Amino acid sequence: MNVAERRELARRVLAGYDSGIDASTRAMTRALAKLDNAATVVLVEGISDQIALETAAACRGRDLAAERVVIVPIGGAHAIGRFLTRMGSLGARVRLAGLCDLHEAELFRRGLVAAGVGSPRTHAELADLGFFVCVRDLEDELIRAVGIAGVEAVLATQGDLGSFRTLQRQPAWRGQQPEAQLRRFMGSGSRRKLRYARLLVEASIGRNTLPRPIDALLSAV
């Protein structure tokens, strides 16, 4: 698979996703429909995490569907226990993995313990079970991976740099750290958050700076 083919595959990742109030439920339903044929199930908090992982895999020439790897957005870390119980019903044939934000790691840890998946006490022990923790959250990981100037360059390609400058001039955000401003800007619309999950993963791969949790998870599965 050449570079152009990898980029096209990565762009198609977003095509099947929509936004809106029911987007998370629809994405979850689509993923759950694939479980019967799954060899590996990756549990993530939301759709942007799913898109980031699928984009990274596609950019590296991997076809997760052919590999029977299913990424399930569970609709928030609070749902981890319920999903782990459901995964247990599939038996030992399914391998589990996951990705979560720093502040949700304890929910994932307790869920794994309660489901009898393991008894992790640290992030390293979570990783040993295939569950990886973002330093803060996905957006923070991607902004650090690409850099402020790099993210602004990506915004410019999408015609969003002017809108971002407007946000920076707002009283509530004037003088704030650019990392915080970018996180607010990218999270201000559901579709924008999904779009930049893909674009910033592509940018990080182009710089060979894919965030460690995403890189480690893909290596594990």
For the segment 55-109, what is each residue's pLDDT rounded down to a tens digit? 999 999 999 999 999 999 998 899 999 888 888 777 678 899 999 999 999 999 9
Instruction: Determine how β-strand 131-133 pairs with β-strand 69-73.
Output: unpaired
d(CA 52, CA 40): 17
Instruction: Give the mean model confidence (pLDDT) for residues 193-211.
Output: 94
Query: Which parts of the chain are beta strand (E)?
Result: 40-44, 69-73, 95-100, 131-133
Q: Residue type for 209, please?
A: T
For the entire predicted model, the pTM comes to 0.85
How far apart are alpha carbons 165 and 138 in whole angstroms? 22
Secondary structure (3-state) at 131: strand
pLDDT > 90: what percent of the chain?
69
Q: What is the pLDDT of residue 171?
A: 95
Amino acid 65 reads: A
Alpha-carbon distance 73 to 42, whole Å? 9
Assess whether pLDDT exceeds 90 at residue 35.
no
